[in-house]
Amino acid sequence: MKVFMIGGTGLLGLEGAKELIKKGHSVVSLALPPLQDDLDIPKGMEVKLGNYLNMSDDELFDIMKDCEGFVFAAGVDERVEAEPPIYDLFKKYNIDTLTRLLDIAKKAEVKHVVVLGSYFSYFAKEWKELELTKHHPYIRSRVDQEDAAFAYAKDGMNVAVLELPYIFGAQKGRKPVWQFIAEMIKNTPTKELYYPTGGTTMVTVHQVGQAIAGALLNTEGAVAYPVGWFNMSWKEWLEEFSADMKDPKTVVTIPTEPYLENMKETKKQLEAANKELGLDMVEYVKLMTADTFIDKSIIRDKLGVEEDDIHAAIQESVDVCMEIMNNPDKEIIDMKAE
């Protein structure tokens, strides 16, 4: 199978490309010039220079017309801030762009599609009482993205959405999403970190690559896969992260109420600056202090994802964060949008 990938030179897309090529398939991807000198492009992957946002439908069709698979590993995540309504920004890059590409893919008779989404969509469906799509523009956009993608799962096209959680592993020259955590730890002069209760599920970047390949090759119809393998409390994760930085901290779990008050003040400051986040900071306390855990058997049994070393992946993320902090003038690629 030949697969067209948007975001194929990014952290997640490249791992997916490597896994597909390992299984005997070929990949073609678009990338903004110039390519990183040390980018590990596998043999069997063709990289074309260009910006899919600025390309015509005909140009994109010419690439897709001989492809059987399509992977969308791009978009904008929840860490951006913008003038309200921020939902419009997510809709533009995560929904409207995807539906345009799927229109072209349908015309090109692409049969298998994988979209990289967010595990917030899974919890929006599982924990309906929290009304996550009502309160959080980003979560609403990810659920709407799933619905929009699944509308194409007919007439021979299969569509999978990977609901991705915290991901560890790194790519040289690319800013890890965990840079702010490394900076928080570095800028904390005491040996204690104060953090709320709760925890999250996580996977390694290699496992995401396996999930991309597994979803592309095994999905029939429209399927959303909640992706998770390792479940950790915030305390457990932050103590490991800080130890890997050689700046070990003891995490003190704080009560929810003072944390909530702090988030109320943060939200007030954003509103005063006419800014909005993808997550409502006050309502997000309910998610942040919960155990957003996922059973690994879903991706193990359905997508063929295998055990990996999460501790080595966390260390890898830490090492790149430290390199960036120790070399502030070095040019890096920010990961807020692919």
| Residues 111-135: tens digit of each pLDDT | 999 999 999 999 999 999 999 999 9
Kind of pairing between the strands at 69-72 and 112-118: parallel
Q: Which pairing describes strands 250-254 and 192-196: parallel, antiparallel, or unpaired? A: parallel
Tokens 């964060």, residue located: 321
For position 338, what pLDDT does the model report? 37
pLDDT at residue 6, as a whole number: 97
Name residue 6's beta-bridge partners: 30, 72
Instruction: Locate the DSSP E strands across the chain.
Output: 2-6, 26-31, 45-49, 69-72, 81-82, 112-118, 158-164, 166-168, 192-196, 199-204, 222-226, 230-233, 250-254, 276-277, 291-292
167, 294 in Cβ contact below 8 A? no
Please state which architecture CATH assigns to domain 2-166+203-227+294-306.
3-Layer(aba) Sandwich (3.40)
pTM exceeding the 0.85 threshold for the entire prediction: yes
**DSSP strand pairing (2-6 vs 26-31):** parallel
The pLDDT, as a whole number, for residue 281 is 97
pLDDT recorded at residue 227: 98
Kindly state the tokens that stand for 149.
């993608």
Give residue 68's pLDDT. Answer: 98
| Predicted pLDDT at 297 | 98
Contacts of 29 (CB under 8 A, 6+ apart): 4, 5, 6, 7, 8, 9, 13, 17, 45, 46, 47, 48
How confident is the model at residue 336, as a pLDDT?
A: 41
CB atoms within 10 A of CB 81: 14
Which stretches of the chain score pLDDT less than 50?
Answer: 335-338
